Amino acid sequence: MVDEIIKTRLGPAFVRPMKILMEDIHKSSSNRIPILYMLSPGSDPTSMIDEFAKMKKKPQPPEKVSMGEGQEKPGLEKVKNGFISGQWVILQNCHLGLDFIATLEPLLNNPE
């Protein structure tokens, strides 16, 4: 269902699997342009992201929050702190917090 929504709103290119180097992905992002991974069951780029953070000499590994079961508040706090500190944040299982994910758009467009 989520794939169909994304395909309808963003286009088929956003649901097609793509193999891109982390460096290319990183270049296309910023503190206001997040990276979104749509994963198939059994795939998990977390370790790849952690290794890339080390390569980029980030002082700490990315913060991680598994969405669902009341994790909206910790997720929001980590995202806000990431704006201030430059810390990367990984929000996992976002399909369990779609309403929360929708609230991130204004924050990304107008961080204070």
pLDDT at residue 2 in the model: 60
Domain that holds residue 35: 2-109
Alpha helices in the chain (DSSP H): 2-10, 22-27, 46-55, 72-85, 98-109
pLDDT at residue 74 in the model: 94
> What is the count of structural domains for the chain?
1
pLDDT at 16 over 60: no
Residues, the chain, total?
A: 112
pLDDT tens-digit map of 57-96? 888 899 999 998 999 999 999 998 888 888 899 999 888 9
Beta strands in the chain (DSSP E): 63-66, 89-92
The one-character DSSP state at 56 is: T
